Structure 1
């Protein structure tokens, strides 16, 4: 296994004989850049992090897949949001082009989150345009450019590439008519069949269901920016978002791993083996 690091931005682990498969973890980082100034407590900031996901998928490299992990936290800049998903009212200054805030952005969870732990403010002053541009240029784009490079190289070498964007979700639905209801164990998001061949979604659902997990599709999260930006099935790049219920592997309140964390780790390594086998077979069939 080889490892490559861009300090503060990402770490990448490459298998000796890589299949055209990438598992990337964009929202589990905990290295807060020195320019990040927040009035929120670290405990509240960490509630926005998909904790331990990078460790849960550590076995994918042994299966032949590439592993990519963003060091920076989504409270600083969220790699799973569009680069223009900014509330103009949250900025000190005027952005030089039209912004595209999503409905979630008005609640404080856009590209530059303004709240954490549901309602706790992150800042006591609006970030400047220059500060946000710095975060985009030095963190967000280097990470996404690496994802794009890897997928293009896989596609060019094998005729196709398979991309799994790995996240975790709280065990209970927080708001809406189903608030308080338990979520499934895994929710697979392919933006309603638009970011990958359904064969990939079917395979992942089959493997996870085979372990006894309850699997849903496009139910809680259809897939956000990582799969939207990179998935292009017509050009041979297949992107699927995997949301894992945190209660499977950690205590949501203390953020401590549960004793059965190694079993979940082993199941995800087996998932990687199956996806790698699928990808190698598909690439071989292309000749």
Structure 2
């Protein structure tokens, strides 16, 4: 596909594609329409690209967008259907933060025509890149794993009760991957001693649900991490003065070891 300045594709030959859809902070010129640029970047999956920067060294293909999820969320159903009916969530082109704060100044939110244009400009190329890379890998591997990387603040009352577990593994209730791979990954996260859940509040977004087709040789996992496991997350509400916390490689090292084991296991399983 045509090279795009906001879309990064690092090609590897292992049967693993790592998707990083929510670390982008590029607001695509929306700054003047937003209540504040900080709010526009508040819900990014902070430092996930650093946390997983070992993946390419394992031979994984890595696809990442630098566009903020405020511009468009490439992990939402483009039809507008909620992935979590009955639960609070944000739209394809969000108009509020996770905490419910308005993102746009009065009268500045995108209309249907603008949403459609953003979908064409950013959403469709990201998904085309995923499809193209999966097809490339499937030509040489009978099984390929799509691993979708995410993180979120540990406490967001609007989205979930209490403190979120550290590890939140989603496989669309088991539909997006072989049960054997789900079990292998679940055993690793259980072995860390950290809190964990499989197909809890976060069962996998549109990427996991759309591309996870075990019968076609593509096995998709979503890993949603609570930020406290790899960065110095402050308890309680956050502000521009304290969020995001800086990335601390030493603090993140134990989590990187666990994630390395997960990705290595996924590669071995796919090759078995």
Q: 2:136 aligned with 1:139, yes or no?
A: no
Instruction: Give a deviation string over 1:101-142, Cα, whole Å, max 9, x none.
Output: 566799671101011151221222241333222211111000
Other-structure match for 1:47 = 42
Cα root mean square deviation, aligned: 2.4
Q: 2:261 aligned with 1:270, yes or no?
A: yes
Distance 1:138 1:127 in 2: 14
Distance 1:5 1:37 in 2: 28
Q: 2:239 aligned with 1:250, yes or no?
A: no
Q: How many residues align?
A: 259
Q: Name stretches of at least 5 consecutive residues in structure 2 with no aligned partner.
A: none
Other-structure match for 2:103 = 122
2:174 corresponds to which of 161, 186, 193: 193
Q: Name stretches of at least 5 consecutive residues in structure 1 with no aligned partner.
A: 86-99, 282-287
User: Does the CA-based 8 Å contact 1:58-1:265 persist in structure 2?
Assistant: no
Structure 2 CA distance for partners of 1:36 and 1:108, relative to 1, 3 Å: farther
Correspondence list, 1:1-287, <5 A: 6-8=4-6, 10-15=7-12, 18-34=13-29, 37-85=32-80, 100=81, 109-123=90-104, 124-125=106-107, 126-172=109-155, 174-175=157-158, 179=161, 181-252=162-233, 253=238, 254-256=243-245, 257-258=247-248, 259-281=250-272
Distance 1:194 1:135 in 2: 29
Distance 1:19 1:213 in 2: 28
Distance 1:103 1:274 in 2: 29
TM-score with structure 2 setting the length: 0.86
Distance 2:165 2:82 in 1: 29
User: Does the CA-based 8 Å contact 1:231-1:239 persist in structure 2?
Assistant: yes
Distance 1:106 1:137 in 2: 27
